[in-house]
Amino acid sequence: MQSIILDTETHTLNGLPIEIAYAPICLEHGKLSLFKEQIFDQLYSIGEPISFASMAVHHILESDIADQPHYTTFSLPSSVEYIIGHNIDYDIQAIARCGVDTSKLKPICTLALARQVWPDAEAHNISALIYQISQGSLRARELLKGAHRADADIILTANILMHIIALTGVQNMQELYLASEEARIPKKLAFGKHKGTLIQDLPVDYVQWLLKQNELDPYLKQALEKAIF
């Protein structure tokens, strides 16, 4: 199990995981295989109340997790190297709160890849992309009935990923990882007085100032360094 698609549901935004699901995948010669029969899906107790805003998204109730294992019991298979998800950083941060060492994982973000592959899409969330891919089909509506639960989102993410692979021509997991890393480097600034400006068009003194800031996003740092050096 070298590569997995992972999804988590949390008790509040950026909170503790109350559901974690993952499934092994294989990408060889441009063909993606998802092993549905090996899906891991577990609810977890956390000792804190679930926010109503989060409950409205994933529909997990307090009674669902009352007798479940504590979230700190979760662990990833030691063989996992590539970890894939839609906005995967959120899920990696969630499992890190369980005590999982995430430092050596290679994250692949389907959200970043989708934004690159379909730059003019009306929205890049999972549900909108599934409808776009299927041209608003009845089948898409059936697939989306279980959306926003971790196990269902894994299958939907795999569906999106298959189309990304077909359009980008990547052949294996390392190529997909490198494509994701490139896609995550921003082309425009997303905040501040120069919001919306191409990174390459930012004033040099402003770029130099940004590079001195603490906790700068590493992908933004790469973009800024490319613009100035």
Cα separation of 183 and 178, whole Å? Answer: 9
Q: Quick: pLDDT tens for 94-153.
A: 999 999 999 999 999 999 999 999 999 999 999 999 999 999 999 888 888 877 787 889
> What is residue 123's predicted lDDT score, i.e. its pLDDT?
96
Quote the pTM value: 0.91
Q: Which residue has the higher pLDDT, 1 or 194?
A: 194
For residue 11, give the amino acid letter.
H
Q: Is the dihedral of CA 65, 50, 24, 136 positive or negative?
A: positive
Q: Quick: pLDDT tens for 168-226.
A: 999 999 999 999 999 999 999 989 999 999 999 999 999 999 999 988 999 999 999 98
Tell me the residue ranges of DSSP E strands in the chain.
3-10, 17-28, 31-34, 40-43, 82-85, 106-109
Mean pLDDT calculated for residue range 145-172: 91
Q: Is the dihedral of CA 189, 195, 201, 206 positive or negative?
A: negative
Structural domains in the chain, CATH included, are: 3-183 (3.30.420.10), 187-229 (no CATH)
Cα separation of 219 and 116, whole Å? Answer: 15
Asked if 184 contacts 116 with a C-beta cutoff of 8 angstroms, the reply is no
